Structure 1
Amino acid sequence: MTKTKWALDTAHSGVEFSVKHMMIANVKGTFNNFNAEIDADPNDLTTGDISFSIDTASIDTRNEDRDNHLRSADFFDVENYPALTFKATEIVSNGDGEYQVTGDLTIRDTTNKETFVVTYEGSGKDPWGNEKVGFTVNGKIKRSDYGLTWNAALETGGVLVGDQIKISLEIQAAKA
């Protein structure tokens, strides 16, 4: 198969993250508005062009006060930085439909190279004859690498919010 443009199916895709809270539990959240540009052969992503954009104001942790704090200048500063972006710069196959996708992740005007594991989950036609593909994406970043350093010390030692963020995406796309 040759490179093909794919349109993100946001109704069947998701962007989730988790972070340690009080050093004892993980708090999870999602971003509800995001988009991707995918121009790739799903059977061989190594020559693909992949970029991703997330609307930072769409953060949702199921807690309005926390979400508003995350939108503030302490964290995403959504008024000045309305999106976080990722642009793949290198895609290496690990075999069996798994890839190391490295690229430029930009959060709050800070760009760093990050690598995510992307797994090709398969393809098929939906009931209306549209060709669909699925991918799972997993990775970890350090929020401090992007200037997201707000925290609070705990009486018992440690901090309120962990530095490592686990990221997980489920992606379904339709042939454009």
Structure 2
Amino acid sequence: MGLTARIRTRDGWAVSHAVVTVADATGTQVLRAEADPEGAVRDTTALAPGAYTVIVTAVGYAPAAASALVTASGRAEIGTVTLARRGGTALPPPGPWTVDPAHSTVGAVARHLGISSVRGRFTDFTASVEIAPDDVGKSRVEAVIRAASIDTGNTVRDTHLRSADFLDADAHPEITYRSTGLTAAGPDRWTVHGDLSLRGVVRPVDLDLAYLGTGADPWGGTRAAFRATADLHREDFALTYNQVVQAGIAAIGTTLKVELDVQAVQGESLPQA
């Protein structure tokens, strides 16, 4: 006898803090139960045969309703109830996630001569993500990038980019980003608010973030994928070096487009190789 149910996100993750409320045909609450750490509800309260309404709620998620028919045995099997993030947006399960540099890219694109683009990436960086359990807006992102690891595929250009004309990697070896908040921007999309420290200058920078989903990896872990972009104005970070070529056209555009493709592993550290 009693009620059983499984509470999951659309990716199949357990919602451990869900609450299930059952009301009879008159609207009277007859049962209230909480999900266990695995998102399972198993309540042994005897229910009279008949039709009931089941409401499932959890902080940060939109409520979900289901119907239940209690048989003569006094048992109601609700099955799996899927909860969507409030506002239709989604993120991975709460807790710490560690970015895997081997399967992530931190890149930037600059216009060259007004007609083409030059792409570069940083090869040495660490980053972590903390998904808040109750208020997703309090989730955190932190990243540290070694400025000297810039790689555009051209040794002469990379040496110049590390110099005081650009990144000044000797004086400012680290580029850091620390988030200050998170705002839903649509289904699976978020705006990450944060402070970027580049070349010794700190400026607020928003990242347009898309959450691409989660899945198991071959090493027994769980991974989440993200893509994020941002536009930076070079002069905001004292990156004012330029060269004017013919017809007054600047060699380098004034805007840098940051492109991030990220895989994060669930947990506070990466698995041992």
Shorter-normalised TM range:
over 0.9
Superposed displacement of residue 45, structure 1: 4.7
Number of aligned residue pairs: 175
Distance across 1 between alignment mates of 2:121 and 2:110 = 12
**Equivalent residues in 2 for 1:13-92 (5 A)?**
13-40=104-131, 45-92=136-183
- 1:153 aligned to 241, 244, 251, which one? 244
**Equivalent residues in 2 for 1:97-112 (5 A)?**
97-112=188-203
- 1:116 aligned to 193, 200, 207, which one? 207
Counterpart of 1:163?
254
Distance across 1 between alignment mates of 2:220 and 2:132 = 19
Greater mean alpha carbon deviation, residues 16-25 or residues 63-72 = 16-25
Quick one: which amino acid aligns to residue 145 of structure 1? D
- 2:228 aligned to 129, 137, 145, which one? 137
Superposed displacement of residue 156, structure 1: 1.8
Quick one: which amino acid aligns to residue 164 of structure 1? T
Q: Which has the higher contact order (CA 8 A, sep 6+)?
A: 1
Residues 105-133 of structure 1 show CA distances to partners (whole Å, capped at 9, x for unaligned) of: 11111111111101110001112321110
More strand by share: 1
Quick one: which amino acid aligns to residue 115 of structure 2? I
Distance across 2 between alignment mates of 1:46 and 1:95 = 14
Quick one: which amino acid aligns to residue 250 of structure 2? V
Quick one: which amino acid aligns to residue 105 of structure 2? G
Greater mean alpha carbon deviation, residues 159-168 or residues 1-10 = 1-10
Superposed displacement of residue 41, structure 1: 5.3
Residues 58-85 of structure 1 show CA distances to partners (whole Å, capped at 9, x for unaligned) of: 0000000000000000001111100111
**Percent of matched pairs sharing the same residue:** 34
Q: Is the 8 A contact 2:140 2:181 kept in 1?
A: no
Quick one: which amino acid aligns to residue 139 of structure 2? G
Counterpart of 2:264?
173
Superposed displacement of residue 3, structure 1: 2.9
Residue 218 of structure 2 aligns to a residue whose secondary structure is coil
Distance across 1 between alignment mates of 2:162 and 2:123 = 14
Greater mean alpha carbon deviation, residues 163-172 or residues 121-130 = 121-130
Question: TM-score, normalization: structure 2?
Answer: 0.62
Distance across 2 between alignment mates of 1:22 and 1:145 = 21
Residues 106-163 of structure 1 show CA distances to partners (whole Å, capped at 9, x for unaligned) of: 1111111111101110001112321110100111110110000001111221211111
Counterpart of 1:93?
184
Distance across 1 between alignment mates of 2:218 and 2:170 = 41
Quick one: which amino acid aligns to residue 209 of structure 2? V
RMSD (CA atoms): 1.5
